[in-house]
Amino acid sequence: MSATSETVATQASTNGTSVLLSVDNVTLTFGGVKAISDISFNINKGEIRAIIGPNGAGKTSMLNVINGFYHPQKGQISYKGKTRRRMKPYQAASSGIARTFQNVALFSGMSTLDNIMSGRSLKMKRGLFWQALHVGPARQEEIEHRAYVEKIIDFLEIAHIRKQPVGKLPYGLQKRVELGRAMAMEPELLLLDEPMAGMNLEEKEDMSRFVLDLNSEFGTTIALIEHDMGVVMDLADRVVVLDYGQKIADGTPAEVQSNQNVIDAYLGVAS
Amino acid sequence: MEALSIGLDAFFLAPFRDMFSLPDLLIQVIWEGFVSGVLYALIALGFVLIYKASSVFNFAQGIMVVFAALVLVSLYNYGVPAWLALILTIGVMGLLALSIERVILRKLVNQHEAILLMATIGLTLIIKGAGQLFFGGEPKSMITEELGLSTGSSDWEVFDGIVIFQHIDIAAAVIAIIMVAALALFFSKTRIGRALRAVADDHQAALSVGISLNQIWAIVWFASGIVALVTGIMWGARSDVSFALEIIALKALAVLILGGFTSVPGAIVGGLIVGIGEKLFEVYWGPIFGGGVEAWFAYVLALIFLLFRPQGMFGERHIERV
Amino acid sequence: MLYREAGQFKTTYADDQALLPIAQDRIGLFIILAIAFVALPLFASEFFLSSIMIPFLVFSLAAIGLNILMGYAGQLSLGTGAFMGVGAYACYKLTTLYPDMSIIVVLLLSGVFSAAIGVVFGLPSLRIKGLYLAITTLAAQFFLEWCFIRIGWLYNYNDSGAIEVPTRTILGLAVTGPQATPLTRYMFILCVVTIMTLIAANVLRGRIGRSWMMIRDMDIAAELMGIKPLNAKLSAFAFSSYYCGVAGALMVFFWLGSAEVEAFDINHSFLILFMVIIGGMGSLTGCFMGAAFIWVLPVILRAIPSAFDLNLLAATMEHISSIVIGVLIIFFLIVEPHGLARLWQIGKEKLRTWPFPYAT
C-alpha cells in the first residue's frame, strides 16, 4: 500500500473531492491464473468512473472484488474511509454498493414491479407477524416503498411494462429494469457492468441519459465497465484501463486516449 | 461423567473391539457389504450413463431394474425358454428406450433439469402401474439357475471360522466388472462415445456439429436399460423380484452424491463405500441405536460428505461467475 | 366479455396491491367460499365430506407447504411426508401430555416442532444446491421414519406402534376422536386451511416472500442486493415445514383418526410432490388444483368401472390411476410446465379478450 495510497489521498484533497472507494494493491488469483495483479485506483464521490480494457482484462473480476463476491488474495479495499479485506456480498449491499450484471441477472419469475421492489428489501423492516397479517405497519411500509419504486419507474420510462414478467421483455428493457432494481437500493456507489452491451444506438442513447441523470439528479457515484469508447469518453469523468489483469493507464478520457500503452493494448504493438 | 465415558467407549471403541475379536465375521460382513455395494453401483451406473448424455436425472432407473427383472421372469413363467426370454427382455428394454426418447425426451429438448427430472418421475409412475397391471404386484423369484448362474456357495475357512461366499454374489461382482469395462471402452473409443460426450457438454452445440440427439439418447437409454436388466437379475437372485426394490434404489442417489453425477468410477467407488459402510454400521453400531439403521445410513453419510465437499469425490469445483 | 378489468380503475397503491385486484376474481372467490362454508355443510353427504373434502383440504395445505419451499424458494424437497409426521407426532405427544390444552393451541404448536426440524435439515441448503439438496431431504425422510418406529416414547409405547387420536373438544363440541362428526371435522379443517392460505398469500407478496423468490431466481444477484442466503433459505424451510407439520397433524387428528409410520412414508412425500407439479410451482391456487386432481381423479377412476358394470379389482384401478397420473405429469411438463394454475391463467386471459382474440 503506502506509496500509492498516499498519492491517492493527496490527489483527492487537492481536487477538493473526497475519495469514496479506493482499491489498494489488489491481487486476485484463481488456482494459478492471475485475474488481477496488484491494481490500485480510486473512485471519488460523485464522479462517473469508467473501467475499460480488452476482453479478459479482469474488469468484471474487479467489480466482483469490490462488492465482495470474490475475495482478493492480496491488497485491500477502503470504502467510505473503512478498510476491509473480506466482506460478504450482502454486507457490501447494506453499506450502499449496488450493481448490475454483464449478463442480465434479473429475477426472471417476477414482474418488473416486483424486481424493482426487491431492491427495497434492505430498507424494509417489518417482521413475519405483520407480514402475515398484511395490515397496519407492513401494508403501510409496502405502500411507501411502492411510491418510491414508482418514481424510479417514471424516471426510467418503463411504466408500460410494470406488471409484465421480466423474462419475456426485450433485452434493452431488461437492462433498464436491472438498472431500476439497483437504483431502488438508493446506493452511494453503483457498479454497472456493461450497461450498454448489445444495444442499438437509440437504446444506448437512452441508457446514457439515464446514467448521466442518475449521477447528477440522485448524486450517485457510478463505476461502469463499457466497451463502446464513444460512450465512455462522453460519460466518464475519469477512466482506468486494465489489460491482462494489470493497470496500464488512469486519468481523464483525453489523457487515456493519448496514452501509448492503451493504444498498444487495443490496437496491438507494431513489431 | 462415567456414563459419558461408557457411552463414548460403546460408540468409538467397542465396535472395533468386536471387529477384531471375530475377524471371520468381519470379513463376512465386508463381503456382504461389497456385494450390495456392487448392486448400488450398478443402479448408480445407469443413472450416470443417462445423466452424462442428456443431463436427465433419471429417477426411473430403480423402477427400470424392477421392470426388466419382471419381464424376464414373467416371460419364463409363460413358457418361454430362459435364453429366449433374456433376448426378448433385451428387446423390450430397447423398445422402452426408443419410446421414451420418441414420446418424452424429444418433446423436452433444452428444458430445465428439474423439469426433465419430474418427467422421469412421471415415467416411474407409468412403468410401475403398467408393471403391476401386467405382471401383478406380488414378489416373484428370479430364474437364476435357468440362466446358467450357480446358486451354490463356497466356504472359506479362515481365523478359526468360516466365511461363506454365495456363487451368485461372485458372479454379480464379475459381471459388474466386465460390464463397467465394456462401457468404459465403448464411451472412450467409439464414435458414438465421443458424440455422447459432446451431447453431454451442450445439446445445441452438439446438434450444430451434426450429432443426432435422438439417436444418442435412444442409445444411452438402451444402454442403461441393459444395465438395469443385469442389475435386476443379480438383485432378483439375492432376494425376490418385487417393487420394494424401488425404495432401495433411492440409495443410488446417495451413491451418486458421493461419486458425482457424471463419473463412472465415482459411481463404483461410491457404491462400494455405501454398501460396505452401511453393513458395517448396521452390524457394529446398529445395536446402539436399536437396529434398522441401514434405512438411513447411506443418506446421512452422503449428507455429511456433501457438507465438506459439495462437488462430490471426483467432481471439479467450478468458479461461480456473474 | 364478462371477465375483464376494463373500467376498474385503481386510485391508490393499496388497491393496486390487493390480493385480488380484479372484481370478478373477488366474486369468484366469494362464491367458492360460500359453497365451502355454507352449501357443502348443508347438502353434502358424510361420505363426500370425510373421504373427499377433508383429505383434499389436508393435502392442499401440505402442498402449500411444499410449494413455498419448492415453487417460491426453489429448494427441492423429498421429505414432505416426514415433516408431516413430525407435526402429527408432536401434536399427539402434546395433547397426551397436556390433555387440558386447547386442541387449537396444540395444533399450532405442533407446527413449531416440524419447523424446527425443517430448519435443521435445511441447514445444508446453504452449501448444497439443486438436485444435491434432494439427498438432504431424503436423509430427513428416512431418518425421521426410523425415529417414528424406534422411539417408542413418540407413540406412548403402544403395542400397535400407532398413534390413536383421543377425543378433544372445543366449547363442548367434540372435534377429534371417534365422536367427532365429519361435519365438525370438515368445518374445523376448512377454517384452519382458509386462514393459513391467507397468511401464506400475505407473506408471499411481502418482503419475506420476495426474498425467497430472489434466492430462487438468481441467488447470486439476491445476495449482492443484501439478502442473506442463510435467513432466506432457513426461513423458507421453517415456514414450509410449519405448514407441512400442521397439515400432518390435521391429517391424523381430523381425517385418519389413527396413523402408523406408513402414513408418512416416502410415497406420501411423492404424492404431495405430484400435487405441486401438476398444480403448478409457485402458485397457491395451483396447490388446491393439484390436490383436487391427484386425490379426486383416482376416486373418479375407481367409480368408472362400477358405472359400466365392470367388475375390476380395486388394485387394478389403482395401477391404472398410477399410469394415468404418470401420463398426465408428462403431458403437463410437455404442454405446460407450469401446471394447472398456468392453464387456468391462460384460460382467463383468453376469456378477457373474447370475442376479439387479438385485442390486448
For chain B, domain boundaries: 23-308
Contacts of C139 in chain B (CB under 8 A): 296, 299-300, 302-303
Written as tens digits, the pLDDT of chain A (271 aa) is 344 444 444 444 445 568 899 899 999 988 778 888 899 999 999 999 999 988 888 888 899 898 888 888 888 888 888 887 778 888 888 889 999 988 888 988 889 999 999 998 888 877 777 777 777 788 888 889 999 999 999 999 999 998 888 988 888 899 999 999 999 999 999 999 999 888 888 989 999 999 999 999 888 999 999 888 888 888 999 999 998 888 998 999 988 888 888 888 877 766 5
Q: What is the pLDDT of residue C312?
A: 66
Interchain contact, A121 vs C223, CB within 8 Å? no
More confident residue, A120 or B210: A120
| C13-35 pLDDT tens trace | 887 887 787 888 888 899 999 99
More confident residue, C356 or B98: B98
Collapsing DSSP to helix, strand or coil, A52 comes out as: strand
Whether C218 has its CB under 8 Å from any CB of chain B: the answer is no
Closest chain A C-alpha to C154 CA, distance in angstroms: 31
| CB contact at 8 A, B278 and B294 | yes
Residue from C323, C331, C338 to probe the interface with B (highest B Cβ count within 10 Å) = C323
Q: What is the pLDDT of residue C17?
A: 80
Closest chain C C-alpha to B160 CA, distance in angstroms: 36
Contacts of C143 in chain B (CB under 8 A): 296, 299-300
Whether A175 has its CB under 8 Å from any CB of chain C: the answer is no
Q: What is the pLDDT of residue A261?
A: 86
Q: What is the pLDDT of residue C336?
A: 76
Closest chain A C-alpha to B308 CA, distance in angstroms: 19
Contacts of A138 in chain C (CB under 8 A): 206
Q: What is the pLDDT of residue B315?
A: 57
| CB contact at 8 A, A65 and A26 | yes
More confident residue, A117 or B192: A117
Interchain contact, B107 vs C142, CB within 8 Å? no
Whether C150 has its CB under 8 Å from any CB of chain B: the answer is yes
Those residues with Cβ within 8 angstroms of residue B234's Cβ, 6 or more apart along the chain or in another chain: B38, B39, B42, B168, B171, B172, B175, B176
B159 pLDDT above the threshold of 80: no
ipTM score:
0.84
**Minimal CA–CA distance to B207: which of B197, B194, B198, B220?**
B198
Q: What is the pLDDT of residue C112?
A: 95
SS3 of chain B: the string is CHHHHHHHHHHHHHHHHHHHHCHHHHHHHHHHHHHHHHHHHHHHHHHHHHHHHHCCCCCCHHHHHHHHHHHHHHHHHCCCCHHHHHHHHHHHHHHHHHHHHHHCHHHHCCCCHHHHHHHHHHHHHHHHHHHHHHHCCCCECCCCHHHCCCCCEEEEEECCEEEEEEHHHHHHHHHHHHHHHHHHHHHHHCHHHHHHHHHHHCHHHHHHCCCCHHHHHHHHHHHHHHHHHHHHHHHHHHCCECCCHHHHHCHHHHHHHHHCCCCHHHHHHHHHHHHHHHHHHHHHHHHHHCCCCHHHHHHHHHHHHHHHCCCCCCCCCCCCCC
Q: Give the range among A5-14, B137-146, B164-173, C134-143 with minimum mean pLDDT.
A: A5-14
pLDDT band at B270 (very low <50, low <70, confident <90, very high): confident
Q: What average pLDDT is seen over chain C?
A: 86
Average pLDDT over residues B143-168: 72
Q: Give the range among B37-51, B93-107, B238-252 with minimum mean pLDDT.
A: B238-252
| B55-71 pLDDT tens trace | 788 888 888 998 998 89
| CB contact at 8 A, A69 and A191 | no
Chain A contact residues (CB < 8 Å to B): 30, 60, 64, 69, 101-103, 105
**Minimal CA–CA distance to C104: which of C176, C1, C26, C9?**
C176
More confident residue, A181 or B257: A181
Residue from A101, A131, A151 to probe the interface with C (highest C Cβ count within 10 Å) = A131
The helix (run of H) or strand (run of E) holding residue A177 is helix A171-183
Cell numbers representing residue C187 in the block: 368445518
Contacts of B322 in chain A (CB under 8 A): 60, 64, 69, 101-103, 105
Q: What is the pLDDT of residue A13?
A: 44
For chain A, domain boundaries: 1-95+187-195+203-271, 97-186
What's the CATH architecture for A97-186? 3-Layer(aba) Sandwich (3.40)
Distance set, CA B141 to CA B72, B76, C89, C256, C261 (Å): 11, 11, 38, 36, 28
Same fold, A1-95+187-195+203-271 and A97-186: yes
Q: What is the pLDDT of residue B311?
A: 65
Q: Give the range among A80-89, B79-88, B143-152, C220-229 with minimum mean pLDDT.
A: B143-152
Q: What is the pLDDT of residue A5?
A: 43
Whether B158 has its CB under 8 Å from any CB of chain C: the answer is no
Residue from B316, B321, B322 to probe the interface with A (highest A Cβ count within 10 Å) = B322
B288 pLDDT above the threshold of 80: no
**Minimal CA–CA distance to B256: which of B180, B187, B312?**
B312
SS3 of chain C: the string is CCCCCCCCCCCCHHHHCCCCCCHHHHHHHHHHHHHHHHHHHHHCCHHHHHHHHHHHHHHHHHHHHHHHHHHHCCCCCCCHHHHHHHHHHHHHHHHHHCCCCCHHHHHHHHHHHHHHHHHHHHHHHHCCCCHHHHHHHHHHHHHHHHHHHHCHHHHCCCCCCCEECCCCEECCEECCCCCCCHHHHHHHHHHHHHHHHHHHHHHHHCHHHHHHHHHHHCHHHHHHCCCCHHHHHHHHHHHHHHHHHHHHHHHHHHHHCEECHHHHCHHHHHHHHHHHHHHCCCCHHHHHHHHHHHHHHHHHHHHHHHHCCCCCCHHHHHHHHHHHHHHHHHHHHHHCCCHHHHHHHHHHHHHHHCCCCCCC
Q: Which residues pair with C247 in a beta bridge?
A: none
- Report the residue of chain C nearest B126, measured CA to CA: C323
Q: What is the pLDDT of residue C232?
A: 92
CATH number for the segment(s) B23-308 = 1.10.3470
Q: What is the pLDDT of residue A123?
A: 84
Average pLDDT over residues B104-130: 83
List all residues of chain B from 111 to 150 with a beta carbon under 8 Å from chain C. 111, 113-115, 117-119, 121-130, 132-133, 137
| CB contact at 8 A, A64 and A225 | no
- Report the residue of chain A nearest C72, measured CA to CA: A109
Q: What is the pLDDT of residue C1?
A: 53
Amino acid (one-letter) located at B29? V
**Minimal CA–CA distance to B184: which of B41, B45, B51, B36?**
B45
What's the CATH architecture for A1-95+187-195+203-271? 3-Layer(aba) Sandwich (3.40)
pLDDT band at B291 (very low <50, low <70, confident <90, very high): confident
Q: What is the pLDDT of residue A9?
A: 44
**Minimal CA–CA distance to C329: which of C255, C271, C258, C265?**
C271
Closest chain C C-alpha to A118 CA, distance in angstroms: 6
Interchain contact, A118 vs C214, CB within 8 Å? yes
Hey, what domains does chain C have and what are their CATH numbers? 45-353 (1.10.3470)
C38 pLDDT above the threshold of 80: yes
Closest chain C C-alpha to A105 CA, distance in angstroms: 6
Interchain contact, B322 vs A30, CB within 8 Å? no
| C259-270 pLDDT tens trace | 888 889 888 898
pLDDT band at C187 (very low <50, low <70, confident <90, very high): very high
